[in-house]
Amino acid sequence: MISRGFTSNELGQLNNFAVEPKVYVDETSRVGFTEYAEKLNGRLAMIGFVSMIAVELLSGRSFIGWLTSL
């Protein structure tokens, strides 16, 4: 008998140890053209694009002009 957050021994006594979660192994590959890699690349591209627009708005110059002045 398992009670919420407690386990019981063979005598039916509750103990104070937490119930162990079920362990599983994630077998999906994270190398190559996977969904994970595509989402990560897309998110990084969006951050870069928004940062480029912010640099242009804050400096009042185009991004290429700002790069050549450094």
- The pTM (predicted TM-score) of the whole model is 0.51
Torsion-angle region of 8 (φ positive above 0: left; ψ -120 to 50: alpha; else: beta): beta
H/E stretch holding 42? helix 35-59
Q: What is the pLDDT of residues 15-65, one digit of tens each?
A: 666 666 778 888 877 777 888 889 999 999 999 999 999 988 988 888 788
Q: What is the pLDDT of residues 3-13, one digit of tens each?
A: 466 667 777 77
Contact 44, 51 (CB under 8 A): no
